């Protein structure tokens, strides 16, 4: 008896679907290109012209990240156009706190079975955020991996490369006692804490529920709000106030919460003195805490609690920084100081 014919398609990989996805995304990806991009879509590598005129000592800064189990919320809600934006903005913020602006971005999109419509939405999110952050989407990988992911499941990862003048790199060295913590609000969970959030509200209420606490929003809408990019206000701020001498450090609030992340830019003899009443938490955090009976300590360790980025500044310029951020259309708030340990 002859063995059945086995093909790549019968093994679960649809090359034609992958090629159709590439054709769909080409126009949106090309919109992110600038004069530094030297290759078109489809090459083995993305080429970027590395002549940085006007810079004395350019330093490249890179970061790689994912969006965690926020993907499971997107799948449950059947809404795929925001998680790509989340990924780009998260990576951009990670290099921004070093003082860097993004140059280009690369993505990795893997699924059990490629859904062309969902894939198009995801990549459109990459492209939208890259345009907004003025960085080029110069490459990526779309992998169909039956047996590794269940049908309908997918995962995302991304890498950003940016640039900063060496003398303007922000780190922990300048932070000292008396420095002021200035917060910029998040619009929700951003991309961290979703394993806890899904247990607390998605598995109990569902993504389509409209609890009174959310003021008419569904659970899915509240959880899928796009991770805020702070690139434009922070770049304006760094052009007005001196990096290192006036703005001492920046902290992107991701996994580990406010204390866990901001402590990364403190030397061992320093600690944070945070006024936890200085800002209003988005309603989704109250719903998670109430529905899941989550202790406050776990809330502070898992979530940003409404603070997306923290500026650590010299005390005598802190009021001017708050005024400047307000002028830029932001809603800053003073939320504490740096103290001696």
Using H for helix, E for strand and C for coil, what is the string for 226-274? Answer: CCCCCHHHHHHHHHHCCECCCEEEEEECCCCHHHHHHHHHCCCCEEEEE
- Measure the CA–CA gap between 152 and 111, rounded to whole angstroms: 7
pLDDT at 1: 57
Query: Any idea of the CA torsion for 39, 95, 195, 265, to the nearest 10 degrees?
Result: 160
Domain boundaries 180-340, corresponding CATH code: 3.90.650.10
- Measure the CA–CA gap between 295 and 273, rounded to whole angstroms: 21
- Measure the CA–CA gap between 46 and 20, rounded to whole angstroms: 21
Average of per-residue pLDDT across 321-338? 98
- Residue range(s) of every CATH 3.90.650.10 domain in the chain: 180-340
What is the distance, to the nearest Å, from the Cα of residue 170 to the centroid of all Cα atoms in its chain? 19
* Nearest CA-CA partner of 137 in 42, 23, 30, 20: 30
Average of per-residue pLDDT across 30-57? 92
CB neighbours (10 Å) of residue 35?
7
pLDDT at 151: 86
Those residues whose C-beta lies under 8 Å from the C-beta of residue 326, and which sit 6 or more positions away, are 332
Are the C-beta atoms of 70 and 202 separated by less than 8 Å? no
pLDDT at 52: 93
With pLDDT > 70 as the criterion, what percentage of the chain qualifies? Answer: 99
**pTM of the full structure:** 0.95
pLDDT at 5: 81
pLDDT at 256: 94
Are the C-beta atoms of 18 and 114 separated by less than 8 Å? yes
Intra-chain end-to-end CA distance of the chain, in Å: 78
* Better-scored residue on pLDDT, 332 or 22: 332
Average of per-residue pLDDT across 77-88? 97
Distances (CA, A) of 89 to 85, 169, 217: 6, 20, 23
Give the helix/strand (H/E) hosting 45. Answer: none
Residue 12 has pLDDT above 90, yes or no: no
Residue 132 has pLDDT above 70, yes or no: yes
- Measure the CA–CA gap between 128 and 124, rounded to whole angstroms: 6
pLDDT at 10: 80
Residue 11 has pLDDT above 90, yes or no: no
Minimum mean pLDDT among 2-6, 94-98, 235-239: which range? 2-6
Q: Which residue has the tokens 């529905």?
A: 291
pLDDT at 15: 86
- Residue range(s) of every CATH 3.30.1330.10 domain in the chain: 15-168
pLDDT at 41: 84
Residue 3 has pLDDT above 80, yes or no: no
Domain boundaries 15-168, corresponding CATH code: 3.30.1330.10
Q: Enumerate long-range contacts of 217-223, CB under 8 Å, 24 or more apart.
A: 218/77, 219/287, 220/73, 220/76, 220/77, 220/79, 222/188, 222/282, 222/283, 222/284, 222/287, 223/70, 223/73, 223/188, 223/189, 223/194, 223/197, 223/284
Residue 302 has pLDDT above 90, yes or no: yes
Name the 3-class secondary structure at 83. Answer: helix
**pLDDT tens digits, one per residue of 211-232:** 999 999 999 999 999 999 999 9
pLDDT at 174: 95
Name the 3-class secondary structure at 78. Answer: coil
Give the helix/strand (H/E) hosting 182. Answer: strand 180-185
- Measure the CA–CA gap between 306 and 258, rounded to whole angstroms: 10
Average of per-residue pLDDT across 305-332? 98
Average of per-residue pLDDT across 50-54? 92
With pLDDT > 90 as the criterion, what percentage of the chain qualifies? Answer: 89
Average of per-residue pLDDT across 73-99? 97
- Measure the CA–CA gap between 29 and 41, rounded to whole angstroms: 8
Residue 280 has pLDDT above 90, yes or no: yes
Residue 294 has pLDDT above 80, yes or no: yes
pLDDT at 4: 77
**pLDDT tens digits, one per residue of 160-178:** 999 999 999 999 999 999 9
């Amino acid at each position: 008896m002859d063995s059945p014919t086995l093909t790549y398609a019968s093994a679960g990989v649809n090359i034609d679907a992958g090629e159709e996805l590439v054709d769909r995304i080409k126009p949106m990806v090309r919109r992110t290109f600038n004069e530094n991009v030297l290759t078109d879509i489809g090459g083995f590598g993305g080429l970027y012209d590395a002549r940085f005129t006007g810079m004395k000592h350019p330093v490249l800064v890179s970061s790689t990240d994912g969006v965690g189990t926020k993907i499971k919320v997107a799948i449950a809600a059947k809404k795929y156009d925001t998680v790509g934006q989340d990924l780009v903005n998260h990576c951009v913020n990670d290099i921004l706190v070093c003082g860097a602006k993004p140059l280009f971005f690369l993505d990795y999109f893997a699924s059990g079975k490629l859904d062309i419509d969902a894939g198009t939405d995801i990549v459109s999110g990459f492209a939208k955020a890259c345009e907004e952050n003025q960085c080029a989407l110069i490459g990526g990988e779309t992998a169909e991996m039956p047996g590794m992911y269940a049908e309908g499941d997918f995962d995302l990862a991304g890498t950003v490369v940016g640039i900063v003048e060496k003398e303007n790199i922000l780190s922990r060295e300048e932070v000292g006692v008396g420095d002021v913590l200035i917060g910029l609000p998040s619009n929700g969970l951003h991309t961290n804490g979703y394993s806890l959030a899904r247990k607390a509200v998605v598995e109990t209420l569902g993504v389509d529920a409209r609890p009174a606490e959310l003021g008419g929003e569904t659970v899915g809408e509240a959880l899928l709000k796009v991770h805020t990019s702070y690139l434009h206000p922070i770049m304006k701020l760094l052009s007005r106030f001196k990096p290192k001498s006036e703005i001492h450090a920046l902290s992107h609030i991701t996994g580990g919460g406010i204390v866990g992340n901001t402590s990364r830019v403190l030397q061992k003899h320093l600690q944070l003195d945070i006024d936890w009443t200085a800002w209003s938490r988005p309603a989704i955090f109250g719903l998670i805490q109430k529905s899941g009976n989550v202790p406050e300590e776990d809330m502070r360790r898992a979530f940003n609690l409404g603070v997306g980025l923290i500026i650590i500044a010299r005390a005598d310029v802190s009021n001017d920084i708050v005024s400047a951020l307000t002028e830029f259309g932001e809603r800053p708030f003073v939320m504490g100081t740096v103290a001696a340990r």
